[in-house]
Structure 1
C-alpha cells in the first residue's frame, strides 16, 4: 500500500494526479491501468456508487483527465502558463454534467437532496467533481503550497507543510541518501 501524498486526502484531484507512480527499479505503477482498477479507485473515494462497472473508454477518460491535471500542476509549480488543452479539458469536465445534488421528493423521505448516478453519467459526474476540485485547489490559498516531490524519480505532487518537500517518508529517505552519497563521492 502506498501512502497518499500530503493534501491528497483533502483534494481528490490531487489524489487523481498522483494515481500514476514512479517506483525506483520498477516499471511505473498505474492505479487506473484497467477498467476494474479505475472503478475501484472511484468507488474507494466515493465518486461512484459501489456497484459501478467501468468500461475501457471510461477508464481512458479518467486517465486522460489525470494527464491534463498533471499538466496544469506542472505548469503551476513551474510558474509557467498552463497548456490551453489542459485548461479546456478541466473546464469541459466541470461543465459536462451538473455536480450539485438535486432536490427530490418521495413519500417516505419527503424533500431531500440526492445526486443522480445514472449508469451513463457515473464517469461524467466523477470527472466533473475531480475537475472542480482541481480548479478549487489551483485558485485557493492552498495553491501556494502545491509542489512536486523533490525525490527522483518520483512524479507525485503534494501540498507542502513546513519544510517538507517530499510526498512520503520513503521519498525523503531516498533524497537524503542520494545527497549523502553525492557528498561522499566528491
Structure 2
C-alpha cells in the first residue's frame, strides 16, 4: 500500500523544468523510495503554495484555493502526464487528455469584465478573482505542455530511469535521471545486481 507523506527531502527541479513549467507541474506528484508518495498539490493549501512559488498566483492570495480549484489542478496534471507518457511510449494521445488540455488553453479570460457599483461607478474587475487566477494558471500550464510536446525539445523528453521515480525531464547528453539522488540510486542498484550475479 502506498503511503502518502506530507514532507520529503527537497528534490531539485528536473532538467528542463526551467524551460517548461509543465515539467515541474507534471512532476508535482512524486513517487519516493519505500512505496511512499508526495503530492505537492494534495491540498488546497499546498496547491496555493505551489502556484505562488511558480509565480502563477500573487503571494497575498487571501483565501487561497478551494478544494474544487486544487482538484482542477490535479486533474490537469494527470492529463498532462498522460500526454507525456503517450508521447514517450509512441502511443496515440488520449482523447480525454487532449480535450482537457485544449479546454484549459481556452479558459483564461482575455479581459477583465465591466462592472458597476453606485459608489464606484463603472470599473473593470475579475468575476471571481481566485477562480480567474486558477483559470490563468491552468491555461499557462497547458500552453507550456503544448509547447513542449510540439516543439523541438520533445525529442529530448524522457522519464527518469531510476525506479520508483516517476518524474519527467529533458535529456542532456546521456543523463537519464532527474536528480543526483536518482542517479546514485540507479548506480547503486546496478552495482548490487553485479555483485549478486558474481556471488551466485
Relative to the length of structure 2, the TM-score reads 0.82
Rg comparison, structure with higher value: 2
Q: Structure 2 matches for 1:8-157, cutoff 5 A?
A: 8-52=17-61, 53-98=64-109, 118-157=129-168
Once the two structures are superposed, residues 134-165 of structure 1 have per-residue CA deviations (whole angstroms, 9 ceiling, x without a partner) of: 00111111111100000010000000001100
Structure 2 unaligned spans of 5+: 1-9, 113-125
SS of equivalent to 1:2: coil
User: What is the count of residue pairs matched by the alignment?
Assistant: 172
CA distance in 2: counterparts of 1:29 and 1:9, whole angstroms: 21
In structure 1, list runs of 5 or more residues that go unmatched. 103-115
> Equivalents in 2 of 1:81, 1:56: separation in Å?
32
Which residue pairs with 1:163 in the alignment?
174
**What is the distance in 2 between the residues matched to 1:26 and 1:50?**
33
Whether the 8 Å CA contact 2:57–2:133 is kept in 1: the answer is yes
Deviation at 1:119, TM superposition (A): 2.7
Looking at structure 1, the residues matched to 163 and 130 of structure 2 have their Cα atoms a distance apart, in angstroms, of: 40
Q: By how many angstroms is 1:118 displaced?
A: 2.6
User: Partners in 2 of 1:88 and 1:34 — Cα distance?
Assistant: 25
Q: CA deviation at 1:98?
A: 4.0
Aligned residue for 1:121, secondary structure, equals helix
> How large is the RMSD of aligned CA atoms in angstroms?
1.5
CA deviation digits over 1:57-107, x for unaligned, max 9? 0000000000000000000111111111111000000011246x88xxxxx
Runs of 4+ in 1 over 6 A off after TM superposition: none
